[in-house]
Amino acid sequence: MPNNHNLSVIGHAQIKIDAMGKVTGETKYADDLVLPRMVYGKLLRSVYPHARIIGIDASRARALPGVFAVITGKDLPIKYGIMPSTQDEEALCVDRVRFVGDPVAAVAAIDEETAERALELIEVEYEPLAPVMNIRDALDEKFPQIHAYADHHNIHKFVALEFGDLDAGFRAAEYVREDVFFYEGDTHLAMEEHACIGHFSADGKLTLYSSTQTPHYVHRALEKALQFPRGHIRVIAAPVGGGFGGKTDPFSHEVVACKLSMLTGRPVKITLTREEVFYTHRGRHPVLMWIKSGVKRDGQITALHFKTILDGGAYGSYGIASTYYTGALQTVTYKIPTYKFEGVRVFTNKPPCGPKRGHGTPQPRFGLEVHLDKIARELNLDPAEMRRKYVVDDGTQTVNHLTITSCGLRECIDEVVKASDWKNRKSQIPNSKSQIKRGLGIACSSYLSGAGLPIYWNDLPHSGVIVKVDRGGGVAVFCGSTDIGQGSDSLLAYIAAEEFGLKPQDIKVFSADTDLTPVDLGSYSSRVTVMTGNACIQAARIVKEKILQASAEKLLVPPASLAMRDGVVICEDDENRKLSFVQAINLAEAKFGTLTGTGSYKPPKRAGPFKGSGVGPSPSYSYSACVAAVAVDTETGEVKVEKLFLAHDGGRAINPLSVIGQTEGSAYMGFGEALMEESAFRKNMHKIPSLLDYKSPTTLDTPELHAILVETIDPEGPYGAKEAGQGPLLPVPPAIANAIFDAVGVRIDEVPITPDKVLRALEEKSKGNAPRFGPKDFPVIKMPEAIKVEPPDAKHAPRLVQ
Amino acid sequence: MLRLPPFEYLAPKNLADAAQLLAQYGDDAMLVAGGTDLFPNMKRRQMTPKFVIGLNALRELRGIKNENGNVVIGAGTTLTQISQSLNLSALATAAGLVSSPQLRNAGTIGGNLCLDTRCNYYDQTFFWRKAIGFCMKKDGDICLVAPGGNRCWAISSTDCAPVAVALDASVRLVGPKGERVIAAAELYRDDGMDYLTKARDEILTEIILPPADGLRSTYLKLRRRNSIDFPILGVAAAVRVAPNGIVEHARIILGAIASHPVQAIDAEKILIGQRLSDDVIAAAADAAFKPAKPMDNADAAYAWRKKMVRVYVRRALTELKEQN
Ligand SMILES: Cc1cc2nc3c(=O)[nH]c(=O)nc-3n(C[C@H](O)[C@H](O)[C@H](O)COP(=O)(O)OP(=O)(O)OC[C@H]3O[C@@H](n4cnc5c(N)ncnc54)[C@H](O)[C@@H]3O)c2cc1C
Ligand code: SF4
């Protein structure tokens, strides 16, 4: 553990500043807000997976007493979308619906019941089209094309990149292996359903209150979709009851609530039902994967060739980034000298997929880590040792031009190996005769601490902070960042408190309000701690500088001899010379005028010299290692995860309690994905859009978890911090799959690992067939020629050993 | 949030008033006890009664008492109360495995025994059912699970019913024409739509358990999660073993594999007159497994659910063998 000796807040366990409000129910989430004269909006959604809209007759709905306005796609014809290159969403479908649940019309009425009755009175005439429901249909040109724009028919996007000489890599290999994997889609399942209020006020200005992780991007989308100047729009993110990536797109209900308010002159609230949240989605992409690697006899990788096909659902969303992410971070854990990545995203008639915790990386990580486990078994190597030996080094670059500033993966592996008694695992000791078989499995991973590039191209800061100090002693921090439960408001308070020698409870944080706070791009890509943290330090130190100068003059000592701690400004050389915080700031205000400081942060420019290099770079990377201990019931195929050991290098833990909380939350989410969660479809419909039927683990199902923090002090992060909100999810599914193999000798190459699949693989095994359950093959797709990219300077990148 | 459809709530003070209201409003009325089944179903428009008659104020429906050696449980007794009454053996186990603590605090045994049959084409919102095309259980005329047939295969998903049947319990029904007591087994019909033999205007008032008299019983529940989930298989087993180790009486009742609790008669026959040896147990498990025919309308792969019948019956009987 690093020495926190000189830090009084950072590195110490703290309660979150909003904790009491949340546990007492005082916090007002978006759906708790009530404005005078407010009315309620509801969306009419498509009952067809794929159809042309022939006509909409809303006259009966308009005539219903209590209805204030009814709108259709014609009222909001301008397309928008989170990625500049895929502006393919309509707030209400204009002439075509693309999945069951796609919104086609909206109503504002005196209450929700009336709004619902009005929806029933809207008549939509459809001409059904053949639905495209899975990857194979999407590759088949017999099916209709879902969007007019696409790289090819229903192929939304092709990506093909080759780094270094792959053929040479395979030639240098002593063992080559190919595998196919499938990772089913799943959803965020935040407890809070999306809600918003659009309020077009008497002064002609528009305010949106919304449960969003990205008020800034919503701000931009509203300007476009409503054709209304952004300077007159204010977006306020209410406290968010869980996001996990499900609230990072601009959404139909947000645009619609604003439009309805503009038409009625009343505030309009829209709260989605749980079922609607399943349709709004943007969750984990189902990904089919093919992987081929070449290794030396000791497991050193010489070549890696990786292909993915993402089932994108009906719209672009973040899909292009997701596609790149299924390839970009495969290189940041182990030394890989040659790498080829081919990714494809297809459109299907299902709710659109997008970013969910780990965005595009849990799927390839599952494939890679199970594949490596198979290699270790094949070559008779210890899977932990094999990984450990070729971990990337600090201060190097990967073959695809990503910069490693600090890597604590080796220590993470050591920690979980020790904690789980790995060396005495089952492969070493024979299993008992009982039908319950136990085993251990290991997997590692890495994640970014913030995307190095913004969603839309610009040269502006990614995060801004204003610190303002009041004569009375109040310290206020203003930042556009959005607290979605991860604790970003608290982070700002910790930093300001540390810098001013105060307690976190002394700091007031105002966040996520496009009128009051400087822009922060949003709570996604694990970017907030590093980016707002750095901006906050900068802003606070500007004010601190002024306070110290003014105090130094008063105390007749040099500013450098002064420190701020325990609520005073004090001379380190003569502790009798001190001022209270309030005295000091009054002196500073008298000398410098109103006390404010601003800070902004832009990540280092590190993108490689090739098209597509924008996805992957980050100020730093977190690392995780996980050992899963499982017990498999060979009669039922049920897998009980008895323990998870998870070591995470998130850099300096600014609040270790929060970092452990994030590590646990991530690991449990990974656990749910590994064993039960799936976005299942049947007869062209989401099969189980409810909290009862979509299986996510309860507290009685989740395993005992040992979270271990490994704190590298990263040079880029505030006080050395990296990320913790997403990375610890990644190694959990493959560690569980590998543990199952250790226990019962079958490979489940497909997530979720349901009892049925395990039992079928066990039956195959007992029949003498391949002891495996998973996809049989990978479709042949005519890919474009890969862009060939030279690896970075050999001094800094892994070298191919002949 | 899904909203309830409009309805009028009636709160009779005693059983007679409740029966009278039910008779008066006929098909427009439904009873509600804990409401943990009825209200979610109403939100999804699976039923839209104009009148909802609350049974909460009916004291005569509450509590557990001993009468002539029988245990008599009022239909309004909550599942939590039953699960904490240890002398109710497997019924307490089953009640304690229903759903989650909150729902057990509200849900009653009467509501549990009358629970609507379930199907994942049917337990969906009005919007969802409209999009997929309504089925015959509500608003439509085909079955989406077995479109060729002419019946509904919705699943009896109550945890307590298989146990009540296995324990040879009976139930008291009170209606306008008087009251009757029938065997719990006779309360059910193999029909996903018309799953109760109880007339619409009858109120279930009591569950009567005969004296245990050395009966060994157990209930095993299969579900994906350890809380909240309905059963996707329930095995209630009861045996009476003579001092010489020979099985004299056996009941094996399977829940959640058909529209009614299914008696595994062949399996029971195998046990009678035998000792509970591993071979006999395995043979009985096999006999229960063979006719089981779960359909693809609940959680988990139906082929796997069928395989689990054998495993769970074997485990239940093995537990009874060891129960002494
Ligand atoms: C998320 C969730 C999970 C659940 N999991 C389970 C589970 O695991 N196992 C399980 O068995 N159940 C489960 N249930 C269903 C339900 O909670 C229980 O079955 C409960 O016991 C029902 O009792 P109730 O009093 O709430 O019934 P109500 O909802 O009040 O009534 C249910 C039905 O019975 C009728 N009824 C009620 N009382 C009488 C009476 N005295 N006479 C005649 N008719 C009557 C009603 O008219 C209605 O048709 C679950 C429900 C939910 C919402
Ligand atoms: S079994 Fe068939 S008819 Fe019955 S509820 Fe299910 S789909 Fe409807």
The full set of domains in chain B, from first to last, is 6-60 (3.30.43.10), 61-115+155-209 (3.30.465.10), 215-322 (3.30.390.50)
| Residue B158 near ligand 1, beta carbon < 6 Å | yes
Residue A84 to residue B32: CA distance in whole angstroms: 54
Q: Residue with structure tokens 């800070």?
A: A599
Identify which of B46, B51, B37, B44 has the alpha carbon closest to the alpha carbon of residue B6: B51
Range list of H helices, chain B: 15-25, 38-43, 79-83, 89-97, 101-106, 109-113, 126-132, 160-166, 265-271, 278-289, 302-322
Is any Cβ of chain B less than 8 angstroms from the Cβ of A271?
yes
Question: What was the ipTM of the complex prediction?
Answer: 0.97
Chain B nearest-CA residue for A672: B225
Scanning B89-128 for CB atoms below 8 A from A yields: 120, 123-125, 127-128
Q: Would you call B311 and A273 a contact, using CB atoms and an 8 Å cutoff?
A: no
Element (H, E) at A5: none
Question: What pLDDT score was predicted for residue B89?
Answer: 84
Name which CATH class applies to A287-452+608-789: alpha beta
Eight-state DSSP code of residue B140: -
Contacts of B136 (CB under 8 A, 6+ apart): B142, B143, B152, B193
Superfamily of domain A34-129+191-242+247-280: Aldehyde oxidase/xanthine dehydrogenase, a/b hammerhead (3.90.1170.50)
Asked whether A334 and A368 are in contact (CB, 8 A), the reply is no
Q: What are the backbone angles phi and psi of residue A111, rounded to the nearest 5°? A: -150, 175
Whose tokens are 């498990």? That residue is B285
Q: How close does chain A come to B87, measured CA to CA in Å?
A: 26
| Interchain contact A638–B (C-beta under 8 A) | no
Per-residue pLDDT, B286: 98
pLDDT at A431 (0 to 100)? 61
Phi, psi of B220 (to 5 degrees): -115, 135
Q: State the Cα–Cα distance between residues A541 and A563, nearest whole angstrom.
A: 12
| C-alpha to C-alpha distance for A444 and A414, rounded to whole angstroms | 12
Of B2, B224, B308, the CB nearest to A273: B2
Assess whether the C-beta atom of B32 lies below 6 angstroms from ligand 1. yes
Of the residues B32, B39, B78, which should be mutated to test ligand 1's pocket, given the most ligand atoms within 8 Å of the CB?
B32
Ligand with smallest separation from the Cα of B297: 2
User: Closest to A683 (Cβ–Cβ): which among B132, B224, B308?
Assistant: B132
B278 lies within 8 A of chain A by CB: no
B230 lines ligand 1 (CB under 6 A): yes
Distance from CA of A647 to the nearest CA of B (A): 27
Which long-range CB contacts under 8 A does B300-305 form with residues at least 24 apart? B300/A754, B300/A755, B300/A756, B300/B224, B300/B232, B301/A754, B301/A756, B303/A756, B304/A637, B304/A754, B304/A755, B304/A756, B304/A759, B305/B222, B305/B232, B305/B233, B305/B257
Residue with tokens 């950072």: A10
The per-residue b/e assignment along A358-369, b for 16 or more CB within 10 angstroms, e otherwise, is: bbbbbbbbbbbb
Q: Does B177 touch chain A (CB under 8 A)?
A: no
Q: Which residues of chain A have pLDDT under 70?
A: 1-5, 426-432
* DSSP result, A366-403: HHHHHHHHHHHHHTT--HHHHHHHTBPPTTEE-TTS-E
Q: How far apart are CA A18 and CA A27, in angstroms?
A: 8
Q: Ligand 2, closest atom to CA B142?
A: 3
A537 at interface of B, judged by CB pairs closer than 8 A: no
Contact yes or no for A756 and B301 at CB 8 A: yes
pLDDT at residue A2, as a whole number: 45
Q: How far is the CA of B320 from the centre of ligand 1 (A)?
A: 29
Answer whether B227 touches A (CB < 8 Å).
Answer: yes
The pLDDT value given to residue A3: 46
Contact residues on chain B for A192, CB-CB shorter than 8 A: none
Contact B300 A636 (CB under 8 A): no
- B127: distance to nearest CA of chain A, Å? 8
CA distance A529 to A692: 34
CATH, domain range A19-26+461-601:
3.30.365.10
Check for a shared fold between A19-26+461-601 and A287-452+608-789. Answer: yes
> DSSP string covering A324-338, please?
HHHHHGGGSSB--S-
pTM: 0.97
Q: Decide: A499 and A9 in contact? Cβ < 8 Å.
A: no
Rounded Cα distance between A188 and A552, Å, is: 52
Quick check: A191 contacting B, CB < 8 Å?
no
Q: Indicate yes or no: CB of B227 within 8 angstroms of CB of A700.
A: yes
Domain ranges in chain A are: 19-26+461-601, 34-129+191-242+247-280, 287-452+608-789
Cβ contacts from A onto B, under 8 A = 67
Taking CA atoms, what residue in B is nearest to A686? B128
Residue type for A338, please?
T
Report the SS3 class of residue A488: helix
Contacts of B123 in chain A (CB under 8 A): 693
- Cβ neighbours around A232 below 10 Å, total: 13
A-facing residues of B in 10-69 (CB < 8 A) are: none
Give the nearest ligand 2 atom to B138 CA. 8
The label of the residue with tokens 């869980």 reads A242
